[in-house]
């Protein structure tokens, strides 16, 4: 039993460190040795956990999106907020976190989509899965908001969720070059505060 939990802990530590380095340096700029040295695991052991760097990146993508899914779910399940307010609270929280981080990093999904979205089938599939999981949860929130009468019903929740994901990703890239939260604030204000409203 302790062996299994140590293996799970090592795996978790590798993914956590991997996400950090992939955010800072990208896939091609991150070496396995850096990740392994940071968590003090011998190189040979890496392949017992993931098999290849590409497999590792595909799993790191899911590891990265999970906390965002949990955070968004928490807001949508908060009984003190209607769905539209919950979405606004969630995105405002993200904006505050990005401002505190001095606009560094952005989103691992967007970064890797640009770097390897058309060069690795495995990572492309993992990115698609992560984006769809995230989009589907936003769609659920928007469907609830439509039922509550706060979001327009002449557009489908799926269409609006896709638009929100697409604009948010573009705004994050713009944020990085502008070193300003203005693009991401505009994205939320224009969509959640205006275009989507009933």
**Calpha distance 130→69 (Å, rounded):** 9
The model's pLDDT over 13-52, given as tens digits with 9 standing for 90+, comes to 999 999 999 999 999 999 988 998 888 888 888 888 898 9
Average of per-residue pLDDT across 156-171: 98
Cβ pair 39, 6 in contact under 8 A: no
Phi, psi at 197, each rounded to 5°:
-70, 145
The pLDDT tens digits for 46-57 are 888 898 999 999
Q: Is 2 exposed, middle or buried (0-12, 13-18, 19+ CB in 10 A)?
A: exposed
> Collapsing DSSP states into helix, strand and coil, what is residue 81?
coil
pLDDT above 50 (res 156): yes
pLDDT of residue 1: 44
Is 72 a residue whose pLDDT tops 80? yes
Mean pLDDT to the nearest integer, 147-176: 97
pTM: 0.92
Return the higher-pLDDT residue of 31 and 7.
31
What topology is assigned to 54-195 in CATH? Tetracycline Repressor; domain 2 (1.10.357)
Is a pLDDT exceeding 70 seen at residue 3?
no
**Please, what is the average pLDDT of the chain?**
93
> What CA–CA distances, in Å, run from 146 to 112, 136, 157?
33, 15, 8
């Amino acid at each position: 039993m302790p062996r299994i939990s140590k293996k799970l802990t090592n795996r978790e530590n590798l993914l956590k460190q991997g996400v950090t380095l992939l955010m800072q340096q990208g896939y091609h700029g991150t070496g396995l040795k850096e990740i392994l040295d940071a968590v003090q695991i011998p190189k040979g052991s890496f392949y017992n956990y993931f098999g290849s760097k590409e497999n590792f990146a595909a799993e790191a993508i899911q590891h990265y999106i999970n906390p965002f899914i949990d955070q968004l779910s928490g807001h949508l399940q908060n009984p003190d907020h209607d769905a539209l307010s919950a979405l606004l609270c969630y995105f405002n929280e993200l904006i505050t976190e990005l401002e505190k981080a001095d606009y560094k990093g952005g989103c691992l999904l967007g970064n890797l989509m640009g770097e390897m979205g058309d060069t690795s089938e495995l990572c492309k599939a993992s990115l698609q899965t992560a984006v769809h999981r995230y989009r589907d949860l936003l769609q659920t929130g928007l469907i609830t908001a439509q039922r509550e009468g706060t979001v327009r019903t002449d557009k489908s929740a799926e269409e609006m969720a896709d638009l929100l994901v697409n604009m948010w990703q573009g705004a994050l890239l713009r944020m990085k070059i502008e070193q300003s939260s203005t693009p991401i604030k505009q994205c939320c204000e224009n969509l959640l505060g205006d275009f989507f409203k009933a």
